[in-house]
Amino acid sequence: MQMKNGCVYGGSRRKDQSNGLWKAKFSLFLLGIFILLAGCSNSDFKIFNGSKSNPILSIAGTTTTTITLKWSTPTLEAYPRDTYTYTVAMSGTSGSEDFSNPSTNCVNVNSTSCIVSNLTSGGQYFFKVQATDRDYTHYSILSNEVTATTILLLPPTNLSATAGNGQATLNWVGPPMAVSYNIYEAHTSGGPYTKVDTSTNTSYTISGLTNGLSYYFAVTSVNSNGQESGYSNQAGVTLIPGAPTNLTAIAGNRQVSLTWNASTGATGYNIYYSQTPGGPYSIKAGSSINAYYTVSGLTNGLTYYFVVTAINSVGESGYSNQAGVVLISNAPANLYANAGNAQVSLTWNASIGATSYNVYYSQTAGGPFSFLYSIGNTSYTVTGLSNGITYYFVVRAVNSAGESGNSNEVNATPQPPPNPPTNLSATAGNGQATLTWNESIGATSYNVYYSQTAGGPYTVNGGSTTNTNITVTGLNNGLSYYFVVTAVNSLGEESGYSNMSGVTLISGAPTNLAASAGNGQATLTWNASLGATSYNIYYGTTSGGPYPNKLSTTNTSYTVTGLSNGITYYFVVTSINAGGESGYSNSANVTPEPPPPAPSNLVATAGHAQVSLSWNASTGATGYNIYYGTTAGGPYTINGGSTTNTNATVSGLSNGTPYYFVVTAVNSLGE
């Protein structure tokens, strides 16, 4: 028996297979008497636990979400063979376990161990266990109290973020027990964070971000029970800004003004350009913190292509759209005016990039100027002007960008040309012609022209002079030349031609005169002289002249006869044309000699179709010519050959035909 609150608690029970029912009833009857006598209520009634030992509770293991408990089996003093079910009660504070609401999944278990699940990672829990009789609802006393803490689910570590184009790539180290990870982002360092996705990997790329903005990321671990750790370390990243948009370019004088839309997050901009559409954009024009920039130092007339990039602390964006522009050409330089007869000729230097030029004029220095003409060249002749009036001119370069400013201003006063020179006369000389003419009023110089055709065209410039005479040299002897002269005034205006004056130059002396001696004669040959119509031959017996004897011919060879053998003669030749007689040619000399005497004692011996000849040598002969015929006394028309010997055989004759032979002696002077 036990006493509590003035009540006696007790009871006994035996389990007997034959009479257990009446014994149990008797025990209950006695129990009721005790309750009544003691004045105790039913609520104060507790079954007596006559256990020999209570369950001994202990911790068998922990995870992030479970705690494994085990306990010993209790034993009753009277009935040690009874079996039990067990209930585990759990509380967050010591001594607060409530078996009417045990808060665990370990209720009425048959074994002496149980895994308490669905716990919070890193949470501390207190446990007790009760044993229940399987036959009756009689309870044992409580076990001892135990406490355990679930393993804490750690957050990921070493979170890092790498910026990309509109995205960020995250990497981290996962803890044990994590089966997935939640990714969070914020626009402010430290949060608040918004969950963007879940991943089972330890890396993740977040796309759809806005270039130029800063993002802050954290990652949590999730275990198999769906429980989530705290945040990892924060990883922040600023994305490269997006490329600027709507780039526009406006041309100016040696500069271009650029504007564009700002890029989010950009701290500055780089400006690049090229002279080739599409780049490469190898020239950096400058940098700006604003969304506009003026590129200076450019060359007027050229085309430039611009792009802009945005920069921040992370790096540089790609190129913006390209903006191309053509700069207005520079004003033409070195405009020059040359007045003429009722006209002015203008020339100027080309302007880079100009496609045409506009010519303006005025009759007042400094303008205003009126448009006159547009031309694609760098020269223009303004006609239809009035002589004696001064005109002022400027030129502007034009391209697709517009019209340049004025060139330098020039002025000119057209004037009529002077009158042509008169009384031109030409006198022939050796390779030259001397001209004279009358002065022209207003002329400051004269131009000489000539042709080899009467009446021109006079395409050859014979020179210029400020005098009224000139000698034109470098002409060819023997040819005819026709000259005219023009007068030029201070404006360079040229008159028409003077009268024509023609002249034929004396032919040049013949060249390469050669002479060969003969018997009482000399044969002469020479090269023709340009323009010669005939030649005079002069000779004498004294070297260098005088040459008292004269002959004439129209040929370039001549045989002078009637000379005396043994006397040396000296010859020269001159050429003749309308201009007169040339000087002497080179000199040639010869000494005529008689031929050698005829061979003597000619003997002919007939053979088979041939004849053998022999004769006596002739004094002075260097060779012999053989002739024959079929008639005695000739004519001897058949050449039987030549030899340097005093004998010869003439073959190829016809047997039975009589032949008559003669032989002549030959030397350098003849036969």
User: Alpha-carbon Rg of the chain, whole angstroms?
Assistant: 70
Helix (H) or strand (E) holding 666: strand 660-666
Residue 423's Cβ-side half-sphere holds a number of Cα atoms within 13 Å equal to 7
SS3 423: strand
Phi-psi region of 474 (alpha: psi -120 to 50; beta: other; left: phi over 0): left
The answer on 250 and 186 residing in a single domain is: no
Are residues 618 and 602 in contact, defined by beta-carbon separation less than 8 angstroms? no
The answer on 371 and 341 residing in a single domain is: yes
The answer on 295 and 213 residing in a single domain is: no
**pLDDT value, residue 256:** 96
Name the residue with higher pLDDT: 123 or 359: 359
Q: Which domain holds residue 449?
A: 422-504
How many structural domains are present in the chain? 8
Phi-psi region of 335 (alpha: psi -120 to 50; beta: other; left: phi over 0): beta
Beta strand pairing call for 480-488 and 445-451: antiparallel
The answer on 210 and 168 residing in a single domain is: yes
**pLDDT value, residue 325:** 95
Rounded Cα gap, residues 483 and 503, in angstroms: 8
Question: Of the candidates 412, 445, 475, which is a domain's last residue?
Answer: 412
Written as one letter, the residue type at 389 is I
Q: Measured between alpha carbons, how far apart are the two ends of the chain, in Å?
A: 194
The answer on 258 and 318 residing in a single domain is: yes
The answer on 364 and 381 residing in a single domain is: yes
| 583-610: pLDDT as tens digits | 999 999 999 988 888 999 999 999 999 9
CB within 8 A of 669, min separation 6: which ones?
A: 517, 518, 519, 592, 593, 594, 595
Least confident of 91-105, 122-136, 259-273, 490-504: 122-136
Name the residue with higher pLDDT: 23 or 445: 445
Instruction: Assess if residue 496 is contained within a domain.
Output: yes
The answer on 499 and 431 residing in a single domain is: yes
Instruction: Assess if residue 671 is contained within a domain.
Output: no
> Average per-residue pLDDT in the chain?
88
Given pLDDT bands bounded at 50, 70 and 90, which one contains residue 543?
Answer: very high
Instruction: Assess if residue 417 is contained within a domain.
Output: no
The answer on 175 and 138 residing in a single domain is: no
Looking at the whole model, is its pTM more than 0.75? no
Given pLDDT bands bounded at 50, 70 and 90, which one contains residue 82?
Answer: low
Given pLDDT bands bounded at 50, 70 and 90, which one contains residue 135?
Answer: low
Instruction: Assess if residue 203 is contained within a domain.
Output: yes
Ordered DSSP codes for 161-206: EEE-SSEEEEEEEPPTT--EEEEEEESSTT---EEEEEESSSEEEE
Question: Of the candidates 238, 257, 280, which is a domain's last residue?
Answer: 238
By the 10 Å C-beta count (0-12 exposed, 13-18 middle, 19+ buried), 102 is classed as buried
Rounded Cα gap, residues 480 and 450, in angstroms: 10
Are residues 412 and 457 in contact, defined by beta-carbon separation less than 8 angstroms? no
Given pLDDT bands bounded at 50, 70 and 90, which one contains residue 515?
Answer: very high
Helix (H) or strand (E) holding 501: strand 501-504
Rounded Cα gap, residues 526 and 511, in angstroms: 6
Instruction: Assess if residue 623 is contained within a domain.
Output: yes
pLDDT reading at 123 higher than 60: yes
| 374-432: pLDDT as tens digits | 999 999 999 999 999 999 999 999 998 899 999 999 999 998 889 999 999 999 988 89
Rounded Cα gap, residues 589 and 54, in angstroms: 171
Instruction: Assess if residue 573 is contained within a domain.
Output: yes
Question: Of the candidates 545, 569, 590, which is a domain's last residue?
Answer: 590
Q: What is the CATH number of the domain that holds 465?
A: 2.60.40.10
Nearest to 147 by CA among 97, 202, 182, 73: 97
